[in-house]
Amino acid sequence: MESTTAPVGLKPRLKMSAKAKTFVLDTNVLLHDPQSIFKFEDNNLAIPVEVLEELDAIKTEQSTERGRNARRVHRILSELLPDSRSMHEGVKLTNGGTLSVIINPWLADPAFKDTPAMVTFRAILPDLAKKDNRIIAAALYVKSCYPPPTILVTKDVNVTLKARAVGLEAQDYLNDKVAEVDDEGDYRELEVTIYELQRFASEGEFTLEEETASSLTLNEYVLLRSTEGKTMPARYYGEGRICRLKIPDWIKAPGGITIRGRNLEQQFFMDALLDDSIT
* 11 domain residue, yes or no: no
Nearest residue to 41 via CA among 98, 97, 99, 1:
97
* Cα 108 versus chain centre, distance: 26
Give the whole-angstrom CA distance, residue 56 versus residue 60: 7
Q: Which residues of 63-81 are buried (b: 16+ CB within 10 A; e: fewer)?
A: eeebbbbbbbbbbbbeebb
Please give the DSSP secondary-structure letter assigned to residue 152: E
**Domain co-membership, 60 together with 92:** yes
167 shares a domain with 46: yes
Residue 279, pLDDT score: 54
pLDDT for the residue 18: 54
| pLDDT in the model for residue 22 | 93
Q: For the whole prediction, is pTM greater than 0.75? A: no
Which residues form the domain of 269?
188-273
Q: How far apart are CA 194 and CA 112, in angstroms?
A: 59
In this structure, is residue 14 part of a structural domain? no
Shared domain for 49 and 110, answered yes or no, is yes
Residues 217 and 100 in one domain: no
Residue 242 inside a domain? The answer is yes
Per-residue pLDDT, 158: 86
Per-residue CA distances from 12 to 3, 6, 223 (Å): 7, 6, 44
Structural domain total, the chain: 2
Within this chain, do residues 229 and 167 fall inside the same structural domain, yes or no? Answer: no
Q: Exposed, middle or buried: residue 47 (CB in 10 Å: 0-12, 13-18, 19+)?
A: buried
* Residues ≥6 apart with Cβ < 8 Å to 186: 65, 265
What is the mean pLDDT, run by run of 10 residues, along the chain of 279 residues? 36 54 95 90 92 94 89 92 85 88 85 79 88 94 87 90 89 60 60 86 88 86 86 91 84 63 77 74
Looking at residue 130, its pLDDT comes to 92
